[in-house]
Amino acid sequence: MSRKPLVYAASAVVAASVVAAIWVGVGLPVPFSDDPDRFRSPTGRVAATPQRAGDPEAGYAALVNEPYVGCGMPYSAYRRVAPETDPATLLPGRTGRNAELPYFLTAHVNDDGVEVISNNCLVCHAGRIGDEVVVGMGDAFADFTADPRQLVTQVGRYVQGPDESAAWQLWADRIEGIAPYTQTNTIGMNPATNLSWALMAHRDPRDMSWSDTPLIDPPSTTPVPLRTPPWWWVGKKNAMFYTTIGRGDHAQYMLFASLLCADSVDELQEIDSYAPDIRAFLEDLTPPEYPYPVDAELAAQGQELFMTECASCHGTYGDTPSYPNRVVPLDEIGTDPLYAQTMTDGSLDRFYDWVAQSPHGGTVRA
């Protein structure tokens, strides 16, 4: 499978992209404290919080058309690098130039009149089954092992004129800031968590202004391996991410990848105006049907085993689905602890403090 032409190294978006971000719900800033557990979640149930209402149809349109990542490469230079679009990568519901682009790229015209191409949330949060693009399925073949600055240099050879050069330079500067922290050692792993930390390191939390040099210590240059979770989990989870980070108003931090380019609180508020619609679309998503034959007898045995050994943490499926929304102690679950320990051992508290100082400061727990 060919590598996607990644315009920036991951989404948090939504997304992401916009994806392991810790943008927290509205509330009072967390007071500074020496309490080592101020960002820790107790074990047990994670309570639900009210969510802003949205329009799923408008959310899909925003997801695949809106420029929530506002910087990127000039379209003319992009077409020199990628002159053809594989028809299998096109999505319905896209408008204008976007209808001609692969599902993971979005076009818009910047304030200088330059048409710019950027990644969107689907660079991580969509995958292909055969020739079908499945929105919401984490891409098991996403390749973040390369240095994204190589693409920046390649595109730069084809930039023409001062306005295109300025657009390219903005994008190049942002990629330079995050590139050391977003390269994985394995195909299929997602560096979105490290991307989030890297963006925070370069942003003033009070006004979102960008600094070419980090304002706080950046994250490790070795991202913890992490799979992209499917979006059809959104409708049942009270906290968005594996560590129960992502409580409160989910829509506010779903588009965290916007911090790559948005240089003011006003820009982020404009993006936030349609974020509840995107969340409503995600909440309505259901997984695709399994495309191959199923051994019914074996599946029945698997169901019995799953209900006995797995459902207390992972929930139930079928006609009466449920999800327990629990924080489980590591010594009980017994799985690879690296990600959970990294998020909760105190080494990342400077980023949680960053969130507390930001306009969206509230409560955050890992």
pLDDT at 39 exceeding the cut of 60: yes
Q: Rounded to the nearest 5 degrees, what angle is found at the Cα of 72, between the Cα atoms of 137 and 181?
A: 65
Partners of 252 in beta bridges = none
93-102, 149-158, 254-263: range with lowest mean pLDDT: 254-263
Helix axes 149-156, 161-178, angle to 10 degrees: 170
Q: What is the mean pLDDT of residues 78-107?
A: 96
pTM here is: 0.87
pLDDT digits (tens, 9 = 90+) for 257-311: 788 998 888 888 899 999 999 999 999 999 998 889 999 999 999 999 999 999 9
Q: What percent of the chain lies above the pLDDT cut of 90? A: 61
Give the residue from 194, 209, 212 showing the smallest Cα distance to 347.
Answer: 194
Cα(229)–Cα(273) distance, rounded to whole angstroms?
Answer: 25
Using DSSP's 3-state secondary structure scheme, residue 364 falls into: coil
Decide if 187 contacts 146 (C-beta within 8 A): no
**316 has which bridge partners?**
322
Residue 173 contacts by C-beta under 8 Å, 6 or more apart in sequence? 212
Highest mean pLDDT among 119-123, 250-254, 358-362: 119-123
DSSP string of 102-113, one letter each residue: -TTEEEEE-TTS
Task: Give residue 268's pLDDT.
Answer: 87
- The predicted pLDDT at position 106 comes to 98
Closest-CA residue to 122 (of 269, 10, 246): 10
Q: d(Cα 167, Cα 74) in Å, to the nearest integer?
A: 7
Domain ranges in the chain are: 44-288+346-357
